[in-house]
């Protein structure tokens, strides 16, 4: 078993942080399922649709998923984060 260092975050951690900007609450298990099997995006999309903060109700769930993915991937490529 790998022990995480204090500042070491996983892609799931960053995804939860990213989603928390748009959602009232984030279910980490649904995020873990999506990260491990991207074909489960419909479950994550449904969850996002039901938990959006009121100011983001105009945004699509797919748009939020893609935005968070892009932010994480770009930050990783730019070495701003390590996943």
Q: What is the pLDDT of residue 5?
A: 54
Give the pTM.
0.85
Q: What tokens does 79 get?
A: 């070495």
**pLDDT tops 60 at residue 6:** no
pLDDT bin (cut points 50, 70, 90) of residue 78 is very high
CA distances from 15 to 1, 24, 30, 31, 66 (A): 22, 14, 11, 7, 11
Q: Where are the domains of the chain?
A: 11-77
Structure confidence by residue, pLDDT tens digits, 21-72: 999 999 999 999 999 998 999 999 999 999 999 999 999 999 999 999 999 9
Cα separation, 42 vs 24, whole angstroms: 19
SS (H, E, C) 9-60: CCHHHHHHHHHHCCECCCCHHHHHHHHHCHHHHHHHHHHHHHHECHHHCCCC
pLDDT at 2 over 90: no
């Amino acid at each position: 078993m790998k022990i995480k260092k204090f500042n070491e975050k996983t892609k799931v951690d960053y995804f939860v942080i990213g989603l928390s900007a748009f959602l009232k609450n984030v279910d980490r298990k649904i995020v873990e399922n999506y990260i491990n099997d991207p074909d489960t995006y419909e479950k994550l999309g449904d969850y996002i649709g039901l938990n959006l903060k009121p100011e983001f109700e105009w945004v699509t769930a797919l748009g939020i998923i893609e935005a968070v993915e892009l932010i994480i991937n770009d930050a990783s490529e730019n070495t701003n984060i390590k996943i």
